[in-house]
Structure 1
Amino acid sequence: MKFRNFKMVDYVVFGRGAFDQLDEILAPRRQGDAPMIFFIDHFFQGNEAFAKRIPLRGKDKIVYIDVTDEPKTKYVDKVRDDLKAEFGEVSGIIGIGGGSVMDMAKAVALMMKNPGSSADYQGWDLVKVAGVYKVGIPTISGTGAEVSRTCVLTGPTRKLGMNSDFTPFDQIVLDPELIKGVPVNQQFYTAMDCYIHCIESLQGTYLNAFSRSYGEEALRLCQEIFLHKEQWDDDADEKLMMASYAGGMSIAYSQVGVAHAVSYGLAYLLGTKHGIGNCIVFDKLEEFYPEGVKEFKEMVKKHNIDIPQGITKGLTDEQFNIMIDVSLGMAPLWENALGKDWKEQMTRERLRALYEQL
């Protein structure tokens, strides 16, 4: 048997105030006068106090990343082209924000060294050249983007990541202080991405002891935070950050499943954000994950969260077919969820009926 040899993040620093070590971390990675480029979630634009904490040196530049929509390949290509036109070469890309900003950082870092469009690399192991140095710093927790080997992008024909051994960050900085004060709904939707990762991983056909050990710990932390804690505190921030990390690790050696496969179709057609899209779908998946969905609904009720309903009402046959095509293109996700005969189980008609419930 041949075992998968997967790439992990090279360096990890965790702790309150760890962000203030960033200058020290970047110093040995600087290449002459080539700048470090800091991608920052546009949520922080105008926050001068936060901007002053960015360790700018020489020609370093802050680029505020618009995350109104999830990353598109044309956006990645434009940012890459702008940086090359302005600087030629850069020393590295530092992504500071949620999953979308970190995915942008990974994608642009790769495209600084790979030819063509980022759309050419949507798929598995299509990237052949290492990008520039890249750092991920989450300011909201749950996606696992800080440890994953993909950067999910919406391209001309599909929503699919650049999945490769060159995609993971070289360094991540996990500072729980950075996720303090995130709005409740947004924090919940993003955290549930982690919870759903765990349910899909732990019930998947790809499961092994490696993915189980990380998935069970991430699931336990999510349950503790969202079912058993009576109020949000610093301890919850720290545990959620570690749940996100462990949840991301749990799918490194396995895969996600039905919720993610279906939500990719929503995101492609309707622009539904990843976290809330997963919640919308998972809310209707009792058939596949009965215990997980029951517990999810308890969390929703306890935290008074609104899960949108009826978002596919009124869509045309053509629109449903677009979502179905995108979803069925996620073969590894379906195989993990349903087994090697997943195509016989998940027919277009069955998937259409599922989309109609959302």
Structure 2
Amino acid sequence: MQFRNFKMVGYVVYGRGSFNQLDEIIAPHRKAGAPMVFLLDHYFQGKPLESRIPLRGNDVLLYADVTYEPKTTQVDRIASELKEAYGTVSGIIGIGGGSTMDLAKAVSLMMGNTGSSADYQGWDLVKQPGVYKVGIPTLSGTGAEVSRTTVLTGPTRKLGMNSDFTPFDQIVLDPELTKDAPKNQRFYTGMDCYIHCIESLEGTYLNEFSKSYGEKALQLCREVFLEEPHWTDECDDKLMMASYAGGMSIAYSQVGVAHAVSYGLSYLLGTKHGIGNCIVFDQLEEFYPAGVAEFKRMVAKDGYEIPKGICANLTDEQFDKMIDVSLGMKPLWENALGKNWEAQMTRSRLRALYEKL
């Protein structure tokens, strides 16, 4: 049996107010003349968090436009501009939701690798380390803070740069940073965590390592979304740890049907990751009956309505593109359905699933 030699995040600091330690955390990694680059979710432009960023010397503050999920062209442009202006940088620090953290990981990798980030979309294609990178989530749920992937939409596919060089060197988990996020965004991102826990715990890749993290994350999600009033400090604390544990669970196993299908939606329609997973998961009773039933209770408790009919007017060509993107996520399908997944998930079956969305 081949065991995975799992690359984890180097350092983790957790706790309310821990963001205030960022200056001293990154200080040993500063190199003379090479700036630290802070990628800040554009949502925080002009808001109090921006003024708390410890800019020093020739440090660079960039606003990450995450209106749409990160594209390879966006990654390449930022990396190219930084190389041209500074040669190299001391590090990349991503402050925001999953898209901002993915963007930071990708830019870091491209500071140490040649060509386009599209060349590295796949598994273990990255051959050189990037520069020092730090992830600071301001939303809880994606698990991007601990994952070995950075999800990117490229010219032909939506696929991550999955490699041992991708995980952050340092993460700062400060639940205080999530308190002002829009309520619907917090919900959909939290549901991303719940969904990938269900996919991990019911997948064929499941093992005791991923199971232990997945079960804890699932328990915390249930406490937050079924048992407790929103949004209290305690809820924020629990959901941030659920995100971390859920990310650890899928890092040593995989996600499943909801994520594989939602990648197609995102590529074609630009559907945001959290809500895309919810749209798909809402229709997956045949794969995850108990999980979908519980998910619907969480949605009802919070008073949300999951969008329907988003694929109603698509052409055959558009359905084919989504199907191509989705079927390209081979490890996800194998985790969900086993080694013979291709015999089970035919193009016609997947087309019928997309037509329900």
TM-score of the aligned structures, taking structure 1 as reference length: 0.99
Q: Point out the more displaced range, 115-124 or 230-239.
A: 230-239
Equivalent runs, 1:3-18 vs 2, <5 Å: 3-18=3-18
The alpha carbon displacement at 1:87 in A equals 1.3
What is residue 267 of structure 2 aligned with on the other side?
268
Q: Does structure 1 residue 254 correspond to structure 2 residue 247?
A: no
The amino acid that maps onto 1:286 is E
What is residue 142 of structure 1 aligned with on the other side?
141
The alpha carbon displacement at 1:75 in A equals 0.4
Alpha-carbon distance in structure 1 between the residues aligned to 2:166 and 2:15: 24
The alpha carbon displacement at 1:233 in A equals 0.4
What is residue 330 of structure 2 aligned with on the other side?
331
Alpha-carbon distance in structure 2 between the residues aligned to 1:230 and 1:130: 43
Q: Does structure 1 residue 86 correspond to structure 2 residue 103?
A: no
Runs of 4 or more consecutive aligned structure 1 residues displaced over 2 Å after TM superposition: none
Equivalent runs, 1:158-197 vs 2, <5 Å: 158-197=157-196
What is residue 27 of structure 1 aligned with on the other side?
27
Alpha-carbon distance in structure 1 between the residues aligned to 2:68 and 2:82: 21
What is residue 234 of structure 1 aligned with on the other side?
233
The alpha carbon displacement at 1:2 in A equals 2.0
Alpha-carbon distance in structure 1 between the residues aligned to 2:339 and 2:291: 23
Alpha-carbon distance in structure 1 between the residues aligned to 2:200 and 2:192: 12
Identity of aligned residues (%): 75
Per-residue CA deviations over 1:206-233 (Å, capped at 9, x if unaligned) read: 0000000000000000000000113420
What is residue 94 of structure 2 aligned with on the other side?
95
Q: Does structure 1 residue 243 correspond to structure 2 residue 242?
A: yes
Alpha-carbon distance in structure 1 between the residues aligned to 2:342 and 2:189: 30
- Which stretches in structure 2 are left out of the alignment for 5+ residues? none
- Which stretches in structure 1 are left out of the alignment for 5+ residues? none
The amino acid that maps onto 1:161 is G
The alpha carbon displacement at 1:86 in A equals 1.5
Question: How much is the aligned-residue C-alpha RMSD, in angstroms?
Answer: 0.6
Q: Does structure 1 residue 37 correspond to structure 2 residue 43?
A: no
Count residues in correspondence: 357
Which SS does the other structure have where 1:62 is aligned?
A: strand
The alpha carbon displacement at 1:244 in A equals 0.1
Alpha-carbon distance in structure 1 between the residues aligned to 2:50 and 2:136: 14
The alpha carbon displacement at 1:306 in A equals 2.3
Which SS does the other structure have where 2:292 is aligned?
A: helix
Per-residue CA deviations over 1:83-120 (Å, capped at 9, x if unaligned) read: 11221110000000000000000000000010000000
Per-residue CA deviations over 1:183-216 (Å, capped at 9, x if unaligned) read: 1111010011100010000000000000000000
Alpha-carbon distance in structure 2 between the residues aligned to 1:253 and 1:269: 29
What is residue 343 of structure 1 aligned with on the other side?
342
The amino acid that maps onto 1:46 is G
What is residue 153 of structure 1 aligned with on the other side?
152
Alpha-carbon distance in structure 1 between the residues aligned to 2:307 and 2:317: 23
Alpha-carbon distance in structure 2 between the residues aligned to 1:43 and 1:201: 31
What is residue 206 of structure 1 aligned with on the other side?
205
Which SS does the other structure have where 1:251 is aligned?
A: helix
